[in-house]
Amino acid sequence: MSWKWLGSATPVAVSQFGDPANGLTSYHLCVYGTSAGLPSLAFSATVPTGGFCDPHTCWKRTRSRFSYTNTGATPDGVTHVVLQPTAGRTEARITLSGRGSNLRIPLSADGIFLLPEFPEVIVQLQRSDSADCWESVFTSPPIRDTQSVFTDTIR
């Protein structure tokens, strides 16, 4: 599983990401389907705050970004996160990836599509300690949607 969010017209400061390295901010990845009209949660994963992952700290902060590495993929399968604020001419970006048995990918409800994208699929990374949230909205048709793979990009 992977998701990439690229900045918007509004600059993002590193402070808007909170402080996951010092145990103050966790994140929740949520994927919503809208095939029944209103958005309904299809998948979610938590990226915990602070902590240790394979004798090192999970979160690291540099001057310009936060990064998360958890090769054990606990608790919900997320293995890597990068939170990069706006810097000069570089727009902000968020990347998140996960794998393994802890990643609870939804089962295909109809046996055909993993995430029926009618009319859209919404992906959000929500901050635990504030209302800050970063979102991508994918509209029909997706690049690929099978029982086990959903791939799309915002065009």
Residue range(s) defining the domain that contains residue 133: 2-151
The sign of the torsion formed by the CA atoms of 40, 120, 129, 25 equals positive
Beta strands in the chain (DSSP E): 2-6, 27-33, 40-47, 52-53, 56-57, 59-61, 66-69, 78-84, 93-98, 120-127, 133-139, 144-145, 150-151
Q: How confident is the model at residue 7 (pLDDT cuts 50, 70, 90)?
A: confident
The model's pTM? 0.87
Number of domains in the chain: 1
Q: How confident is the model at residue 29 (pLDDT cuts 50, 70, 90)?
A: very high
Region 44-54: mean pLDDT is 93
- Reported as a single tens digit per residue, the pLDDT across 95-147 is 999 999 998 877 666 666 666 656 788 899 999 999 999 999 888 777 777 76
Which amino acid belongs to residue 134?
W
- Please tell me the distance from the alpha carbon of residue 42 to that of residue 97, in angstroms, as a whole number: 17
